[in-house]
Amino acid sequence: GAGVSQTPSNKVTEKGKYVELRCDPISGHTALYWYRQSLGQGPEFLIYFQGTGAADDSGLPNDRFFAVRPEGSVSTLKIQRTERGDSAVYLCASSSMLPGDTQYFGPGTRLTVL
């Protein structure tokens, strides 16, 4: 596609439920990033993929959060036993491996945990 797409655009769930957020990167981009943006804050890094493998998952807040990218393209961020504090906009970005290339961001998924 022309840009990074994320689905759903909005997700409302109840505390304790499981959610999956999807990111479809720009075609050919090998690097994929997940960030979380809470209200009034800048995006905070969660996890970074190079191809199929997680190159850096140091930003995942706890073991309820997990992400996969099985074929090196689409990625899914999975959150188990959601808590109200997980409410935020989840942003995905992708980039090539060319030196100096930009991270291109998707529109985000707004997650609300009731």
Q: Which pair of tokens denotes residue 1?
A: 């596609």
Residue selected from 28, 40, 53, 70 as contacting other proteins according to rule CB under 8 A: 40
Residue with Cβ nearer other proteins (20 or 44): 44
Binding range to other proteins, per CB under 8 A, among 13-21, 61-69, 76-84, 105-113: 105-113
Q: Which pair of tokens denotes residue 59?
A: 């930003």
Q: Which pair of tokens denotes residue 29?
A: 């981009």
66 forms part of the interface with other proteins (CB under 8 A): no
Residues whose CB falls within 8 Å of the CB of residue 44, separated by 6 or more in sequence, listed in order: 35, 36, 37, 38, 59
Distance CA(44)–CA(70), nearest Å, equals 23
Residues in region 13-32 near other proteins by CB under 8 A = 31
Minimum CB separation from other proteins for residue 1, in Å? 13
Residue selected from 69, 106, 109, 111 as contacting other proteins according to rule CB under 8 A: 106
